[in-house]
């Protein structure tokens, strides 16, 4: 049976009323349920098992949880919209205001002059949308569960209309679990973000706060601050490049938890020794979160001399103020060479926190650093983390991979880069502009440019999330489920429930056994081979981290963990 015939049968089967009657004429569209980690585009057609009446999810109070569905138009659809109702259980209601509805936007990346590849990217709000015949659009629904939501099963209608015609009504079945997730204790989740990379009209305290709140809502627990200072009186001011605006806003929003750290990354290289001492004393006076000083980025080759110079400054400050709390941090490992052939000749010994390129991270490195009183964080910069092609990788990296390696920090480069890359890069077609700041791109080329490294699009009203940014949050939540279960196991052992604790521990071990840590290196190598073959646009595709872990496996893992948490909680 050919694919078009099978698709037609699915569409006709889907075009029925609740009573089983089939309206006259061919169906105008089919609505089908997808997984948020699935790779979709306008050519995606439904499989038979995706055409169903219910879309389901589960979450804990306070958690954000997405579901997705798609509409495949058979005829042109005008003014298609989605009406979302309240989530209701037998005893409680989650209001419509806690449900965020968006449409998935796409762009074409050109791997060659005749080879455009459509790629899902940002999640935009919408009122109504037109869908051309034989095209598919995906819709994204995120439920933010109230902190005080009672446990139970809730239902809400999702009614898809085109004009006055109801195409289909799905039921959103949403289970609120009887547990509360632990924060990711000791984990420093962050994204590199340079305040100076913002458009000038966005470099305000108000917009800076929107960015930090968005980071917090996506599970981040620290951030990279900017502070271009030549004197202490420049520490304050209304500009987003002022250190006080960055750090104090992060503390006010709760982005940096008590006992956490703020990474002073940008502008620090220009601060002289006496001024650095004054700023650290002022930070203590203002009760700021502890500063981690990003001293000399990627310190290989000739930069080693700069490391030695800066560390003499650090040593002098620590001798003079032995009770002054701060840490040193940079991108390095203990002794490994950089992939470009330069070496850091062991400069990692000088730093308190080593941010290692993720493919270089091993549990052995983490353990050795811990033995030396240091921490290992991880970062990835050989990817464009925003598009939907990266969703599975992002969730894997921030969740189960971070858990199994034992790193205490995890990040991408970067939250949103200043440089936008032509989607025609290296193809010999289109506008001959390679990288430009977004606000410098001519209007007629705006739709041909995308941020090379971006988890969000910085619109005037605030950050617009990419699919990959939502997947990062899912990975953080996977980690939080594991932390919560680990604590529950420890409590169960303390209470004498050894058998139940052992059973829960076996669940963790079974999931850990599924995680192949060499996947980072393999996935990165595959991405870089595509980059060298096709140019920058190839970075917008990332192979799944493990072929033997499907998009549905992630929530299967999470459900097994959640069930063990519930079981141990009920035993208590």
Q: How confident is the model at residue 242 (pLDDT cuts 50, 70, 90)?
A: confident
3-state secondary structure 171-200: EEEEEECCCCCCCCCCCEEEECCCHHHCCH
Given a cut of 60, is residue 22 above it in pLDDT?
no
Residues 508-513, mean pLDDT to the nearest whole number: 98
- pLDDT tens digits, 85-102: 999 999 999 999 999 999
Residues 26-45, mean pLDDT to the nearest whole number: 93
Task: Return the ∠ at Cα 385 (arms to 384 and 389), rounded to 5°.
Answer: 95
Residues 377-395, mean pLDDT to the nearest whole number: 86
Measure the CA–CA gap between 159 and 530, rounded to whole angstroms: 41
- Which residue(s) pair with 535 in the sheet? none
Pick the more confident residue, 354 or 382. 354
Q: Within 10 Å of residue 134's Cβ, how many Cβ atoms? A: 13
Distances from the Cα of 96 to the Cα of 42, 85, 86, angstroms: 28, 6, 5
Q: Which helix (H) or strand (E) covers residue 419, if one does?
A: strand 419-422
- pLDDT tens digits, 163-200: 989 999 999 999 999 999 999 999 999 999 988 777 77
Given a cut of 70, is residue 77 above it in pLDDT?
yes
Long-range own/partner contacts, residues 274-282 (CB < 8 A, 24 or more apart): 275/229, 275/230, 275/231, 275/232, 276/313, 276/317, 277/317, 277/320, 277/321, 278/232, 279/227, 279/229, 279/232, 279/235, 279/243, 280/317, 280/321, 280/324, 280/326, 281/321, 281/324, 282/232, 282/235
Given a cut of 70, is residue 23 above it in pLDDT?
no
The percentage of the chain sitting over the pLDDT mark of 70, rounded to a whole number, equals 83
Question: Across the beta sheet with 224-226, what order do the strands follow?
Answer: 188-191, 409-412, 375-380, 353-357, 326-330, 290-294, 261-266, 224-226
Measure the CA–CA gap between 540 and 466, rounded to whole angstroms: 12
Measure the CA–CA gap between 529 and 541, rounded to whole angstroms: 11
Give the contacts of 264 (CB within 8 A, at least 6 positions apart): 224, 225, 226, 227, 243, 291, 292, 293, 294
**Region of poorest pLDDT, from 22-31, 36-45, 148-157, 537-546:** 537-546
H helix and E strand count, the chain: 12, 25
Here the tokens at position 317 are 């400050």
Residues 3-28, mean pLDDT to the nearest whole number: 53
The SS3 of residue 166 is: strand
Measure the CA–CA gap between 347 and 335, rounded to whole angstroms: 7
Q: What are phi and psi of 401, to 5 degrees?
A: -65, -50
Provide the whole-model pTM.
0.92
Burial 164-197 (b: 16+ CB within 10 A, else e): eeebbebebbbbbbebebbebeebbbbbbbbbeb
The percentage of the chain sitting over the pLDDT mark of 90, rounded to a whole number, equals 63
Measure the CA–CA gap between 455 and 472, rounded to whole angstroms: 9
Given a cut of 90, is residue 108 above it in pLDDT?
no
pLDDT of amino acid 17: 42
**Region of poorest pLDDT, from 214-228, 279-293, 527-541:** 527-541
Measure the CA–CA gap between 186 and 260, rounded to whole angstroms: 8
pLDDT of amino acid 434: 44
Measure the CA–CA gap between 105 and 352, rounded to whole angstroms: 42
Here the tokens at position 371 are 């033995």
Q: How confident is the model at residue 453 (pLDDT cuts 50, 70, 90)?
A: confident
Q: How confident is the model at residue 366 (pLDDT cuts 50, 70, 90)?
A: very high
Here the tokens at position 92 are 């409680």
Q: How confident is the model at residue 16 (pLDDT cuts 50, 70, 90)?
A: very low
Measure the CA–CA gap between 572 and 569, rounded to whole angstroms: 5
Give the contacts of 332 (CB within 8 A, at least 6 positions apart): 298, 299, 344, 347, 348, 351, 354, 355, 356
């Amino acid at each position: 049976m050919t694919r078009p015939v099978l698709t037609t049968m699915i569409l006709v089967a889907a075009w029925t009323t609740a009573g089983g009657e089939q309206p006259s004429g061919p169906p105008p569209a089919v609505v089908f349920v997808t997984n948020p980690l699935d790779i979709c585009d306008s050519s995606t057609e439904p499989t038979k098992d995706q055409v169903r009446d219910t879309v389901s999810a589960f979450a804990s109070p306070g958690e954000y949880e997405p579901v997705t569905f798609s509409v495949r138009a058979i005829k042109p659809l005008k003014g298609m919209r989605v009406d979302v109702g309240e989530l209701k259980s037998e005893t409680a209601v989650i209001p419509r205001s806690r449900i965020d509805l968006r449409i998935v936007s796409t762009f074409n990346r050109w791997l060659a002059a005749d080879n455009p590849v459509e790629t899902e990217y940002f999640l935009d709000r919408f009122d109504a949308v037109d869908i051309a015949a034989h095209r598919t659009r995906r819709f994204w629904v995120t439920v933010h569960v109230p902190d005080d939501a009672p446990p139970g099963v809730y239902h809400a209608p999702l009614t898809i209309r085109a004009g006055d015609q109801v195409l289909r009504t799905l039921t959103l079945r949403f289970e609120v679990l009887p547990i509360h997730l632990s924060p990711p204790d000791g984990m420093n989740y962050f994204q590199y973000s340079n305040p100076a990379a913002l458009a000038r009209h966005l470099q305000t305290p108000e917009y800076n706060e929107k960015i930090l709140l968005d980071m917090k809502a996506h599970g981040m627990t620290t951030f990279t601050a900017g502070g271009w200072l030549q004197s202490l009186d420049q520490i304050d001011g209304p500009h987003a490049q002022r250190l006080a605006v960055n750090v104090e806003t992060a503390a006010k929003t709760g982005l940096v938890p008590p006992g956490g750290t703020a990474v002073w990354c940008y502008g620090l290289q220009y601060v002289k020794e006496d001024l650095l001492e004054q700023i650290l004393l002022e930070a203590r006076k203002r009760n700021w979160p502890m500063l981690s000083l990003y001293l000399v980025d990627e310190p290989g080759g000739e930069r080693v001399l700069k490391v030695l110079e800066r560390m003499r400054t650090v040593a002098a400050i620590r001798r003079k103020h032995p009770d002054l709390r701060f840490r040193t941090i940079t991108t390095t490992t203990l002794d490994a060479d950089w992939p470009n052939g330069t070496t850091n000749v062991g400069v990692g010994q000088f730093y308190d926190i080593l941010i290692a390129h993720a493919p270089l991270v091993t549990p052995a490195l983490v353990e050795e650093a811990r033995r030396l009183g240091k921490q290992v964080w991880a970062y990835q910069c050989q990817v464009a983390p925003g598009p939907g092609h990266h969703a599975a990788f992002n969730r894997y990296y921030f969740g189960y991979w971070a858990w199994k390696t034992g790193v205490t920090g995890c990040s991408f480069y970067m939250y949103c880069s200043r440089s936008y890359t032509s989607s025609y890069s290296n193809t010999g077609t289109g506008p001959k502009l390679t990288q430009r700041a977004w606000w410098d791109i001519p209007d007629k080329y705006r739709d041909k440019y995308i941020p090379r490294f971006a988890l969000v699009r910085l619109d005037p009203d605030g950050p617009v999330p990419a699919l990959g940014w939502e997947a990062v949050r899912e990975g953080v939540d996977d980690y939080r489920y594991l932390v919560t279960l680990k604590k529950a196991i420890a409590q169960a052992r303390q209470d004498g429930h050894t058998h139940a604790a052992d059973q829960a521990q076996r669940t963790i071990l079974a999931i850990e056994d599924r995680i192949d840590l060499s996947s980072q290196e393999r996935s990165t190598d595959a991405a870089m081979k595509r980059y060298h073959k096709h140019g920058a646009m190839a970075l917008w595709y990332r192979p799944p981290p493990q072929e033997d872990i499907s998009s549905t496996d992630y929530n299967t893992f999470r459900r097994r963990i959640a069930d063990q948490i519930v079981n141990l909680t009920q035993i208590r």
